[in-house]
Each structure stands twice: as C-alpha cells, then as structure tokens.
C-alpha cells in the first residue's frame, strides 16, 4: 500500500513569492519561512530588513544565487541547502558575513571554505536535544514493537484480529542499548531509555563521560529503591558495542571519520535480531550495506530518521518490512522548531550587531523574554 500525504510541506516551486520586510538595518535572506513568528519579530524590531519566500516555499540554490546579489549581510539556511566552496565564494563576493543554519548539524556547509572566506556559521545546539532524543526513543519503540508493520496492517485493511504470535517484537527491559556518540542527544536518549525502560547502557564515544555514568548509577539506585531492575553502564569500543547491544543507536556528527562508520563489516558483528537506529545523518551508515543486511536478516530491524540522499530513499528500502522509516523528524515538535528559529534569528542579529560569542553553553536563556546580549551559537572564534 502506498501512503500519499494530503499536505506536501516544503514544496519547492520554480517561482518563490517573496515577502519583503524593509528596515534600515542589514538585509537578511531567509531561504524559507521558519517556524513561528518570534524569530522574524526579533529581526524586524532591531531594524533588520528581512526577505523570505512565502509560506510553503523553500528556495532552491539557483533561486538563492539569483537573489543574493541584491546585497545581503546574512543568510538563514536549511539543511537541504548545500554550501560548497563555490557557493561560499559567491556569498563572500556578494557581501554575506554569516550563514545561520536552522539546525544543529552543519554538514551542509563547507566549514573550511567558510572559515577561509571569513563567513561566520551559526547553528542551534541544545534547544533540540530533548526533541531529537525523544524521536530516537520513538524509533526504538517503533522498531522493537514493529509499529510500522502494525500500522500498515490496519491501514491496509488486512488485520484479521488478535493472534498470539502477531507482530511479536522485542522486550526492552534488561536489554542493552548501545549509544554510538554520547554527546548531548545520545546521552539524553541513554538516560530516558535507562530510567523509563530499564535498559542497560553501553556507549562508544571519543571520550569517557563520567557525568553520564554517574547519572545512570543514580537512575539504577532509584529503580532498585522502587523495586525495579538495576541497570549498568559501560564505556566500550565500537566493536564490543555492536557485538553485545540489542539495540545500537547512532548520534555522532557526520564528518570524514564518521562517513560510513557502519558498513557491512560492522553490521556483520551485530546480533541477528538487533535493531539499528539512526537520528544523526544518513551517511554515517552505508545504506547499500544496510539494505542488503536487512534483506538477508529478516529479524534485524532498522529505525531511520535520516538518509544519505534526502529526500531520496535508497531503492528498495521502503519495501522492506523490517525498516521503520521517518522523514527527518528529529527536531520536529512545535516548541523546538520555534526555539531553533529564535536561536537562528539571534545568531544572525547579534553577530551582525557586533556582540560577543555566548560563553555559557546552555542556550535556554536565549529563548526567554530577555535574551542575553551575546551571539548564542557560532562556530568560529577569530572573526
């Protein structure tokens, strides 16, 4: 059965209908409308001139190329916009000083080129940690309990009623969840799955995380104190994690080192009926290898939110019952998308107003009524 969505969001049309808000300050091009209105008000109140396409449009790179020569100081960009060396050079020539990414990930931007061109890069970390780790938990549950298959059965009119062995899945309590990349989002997912579902945690990360280990120790004590199973945490190699985990979940940033971190060799280490979850970037997994592994191991399941060539899904992947697929929804809750928009707006405004980089780490103060007079999150220190 093919599911045809009624509303197609983020339609890319050939002709954008422009909305232009003209102030006396620097001009900003937003490549799409962002969630909510607060981000726009922040810029407009400070006198910035903001141009964006009308509601359902997202600018293509060709449209951006044409528009940018009108003279913009900053660009708010989506992940789907690819800023390679040539595009960055062109932005520089047109006078752009900052690209503010409406995402925490910046793999769509050639950072070396941006640094060389002295174009600052902003992103939105922290405010989407909870939402993305929630989605990872959702993929774990969806895969473990075969929710995609269940929904297809019901929607397809094929359900014959309750049966003892129908779509029987995996129990979570006492199992091992392997966290690949225990940064903010990975750690948050570990805590949620440990506290809520009693899963033991293994993690693989560049550095050991004493803070995560301590929190899991406390969760274990708390669980025992209310009569639930204790849980453990261990810092392991990637090989051990893949070998022993019942569920492996990927949270690493995409970089040269993590490109195809999981390929056929790594998949072959995993248990026959393991689950592989990915909410980071598609290219951390070799999709061809995963597709073949899923085809040859019916009890192995993958829960994916991200893909190598979004929005293109690897041929055949969506036909596999053991793949649970979502359309890059990690940060997609209303509050989070609005907060990301506020950070993206403040990154560009405060940077162009010459403010210093926020030394605080936690960006929560920026989504309050009185945000601090700092640039919330930009990558480069030296300009």
Binding site for ligand DGY (CB under 6 A): 103-105, 128, 328, 330-331
Q: Which is nearer to ligand DGY, 121 or 128 (CB)?
A: 128
Write down the H helix ranges in 58-126.
Answer: 61-68, 85-93, 111-116
101 forms beta bridges with 77
- Per the annotation, the verdict on 310 as an active-site residue is yes
Q: Which is nearer to ligand DGY, 73 or 132 (CB)?
A: 132
CB of 132 to ligand DGY, least distance (A): 7
> Of the residues 281, 293, 301, 337, which is catalytic?
281
CB of 116 to ligand DGY, least distance (A): 23
Q: Which is nearer to ligand DGY, 98 or 104 (CB)?
A: 104
Q: Provide the b/e sequence for 11-46 (b: ≥16 CB within 10 Å).
A: eeeeebeeeeeeeebbbbbbbbbbbbebbbebbbeb
**DSSP string spanning 142-180?**
HHHTTHHHHHHHHHTT------TTTT-----TT-EEEEE
Q: Which is nearer to ligand DGY, 135 or 262 (CB)?
A: 135
> Of the residues 81, 293, 301, 328, which is catalytic?
328
Q: H/E element holding 119?
A: none
Residue with tokens 């928009």: 341
Q: Which is nearer to ligand DGY, 82 or 116 (CB)?
A: 82
- Per the annotation, the verdict on 9 as an active-site residue is no
CB of 327 to ligand DGY, least distance (A): 10
CB of 104 to ligand DGY, least distance (A): 4
> Of the residues 310, 319, 335, 356, which is catalytic?
310
CB of 331 to ligand DGY, least distance (A): 4
Cβ–Cβ under 8 Å, residues 88 and 119: yes
- Per the annotation, the verdict on 328 as an active-site residue is yes
Alpha carbons 157 and 153: distance in angstroms, whole number = 6
> Edge-to-edge strands of the sheet including 233-235?
233-235, 200-204, 176-180, 247-250, 275-278, 301-304, 323-325
Q: Kindly list the catalytic residues.
A: 281, 310, 328
């Amino acid at each position: 059965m093919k599911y045809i969505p009624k509303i197609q969001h983020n339609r890319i049309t050939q002709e954008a209908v422009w909305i232009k808000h003209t102030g006396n300050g620097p001009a900003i091009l937003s490549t799409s409308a962002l969630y909510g209105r607060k981000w726009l008000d922040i810029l407009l109140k400070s006198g910035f001139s903001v141009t964006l396409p009308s509601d359902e449009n997202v600018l293509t790179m060709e449209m951006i190329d044409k528009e940018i020569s009108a003279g913009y100081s900053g660009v708010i960009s989506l992940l789907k916009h690819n800023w390679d060396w040539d595009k960055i050079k062109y932005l520089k020539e047109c006078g752009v000083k900052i690209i503010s990414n409406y995402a925490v990930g910046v793999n769509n931007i050639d950072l070396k080129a941006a640094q060389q061109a002295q174009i600052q890069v902003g992103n939105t970390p922290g405010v989407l940690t909870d939402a993305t780790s929630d989605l990872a938990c959702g993929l774990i549950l969806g895969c473990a309990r075969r929710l995609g298959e269940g929904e297809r059965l019901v929607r397809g009119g094929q359900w014959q009623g309750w049966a003892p062995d129908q779509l029987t899945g995996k129990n979570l309590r006492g199992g091992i969840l392997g966290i690949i990349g225990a940064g903010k989002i990975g750690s948050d997912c570990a805590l949620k799955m440990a506290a809520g579902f009693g899963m033991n945690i293994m993690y693989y990360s560049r550095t050991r995380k004493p803070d995560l280990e301590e929190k899991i120790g406390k969760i274990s004590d708390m669980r025992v104190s209310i009569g639930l199973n204790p849980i453990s945490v261990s810092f392991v190699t990637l090989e051990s994690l893949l070998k022993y985990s019942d569920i492996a979940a990927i949270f690493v940033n995409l970089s040269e080192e993590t490109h195809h971190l999981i390929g056929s060799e790594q998949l072959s280490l995993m248990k026959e009926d393991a689950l592989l979850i990915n909410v980071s970037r598609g290219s951390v997994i070799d999709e061809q290898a995963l597709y073949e592994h899923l085809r040859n191991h019916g009890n192995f399941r993958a829960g994916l939110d991200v893909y190598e060539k979004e929005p293109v899904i690897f041929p055949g992947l969506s036909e596999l019952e053991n793949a649970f697929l979502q359309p890059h929804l990690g940060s997609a809750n209303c509050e989070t998308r609005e907060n990301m928009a506020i950070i993206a707006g403040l990154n560009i405004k405060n940077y162009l107003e010459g403010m210093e980089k926020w030394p605080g780490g936690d960006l929560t103060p920026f989504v309050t009524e009185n945000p601090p007079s700092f640039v919330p999150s930009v990558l480069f220190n030296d300009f």
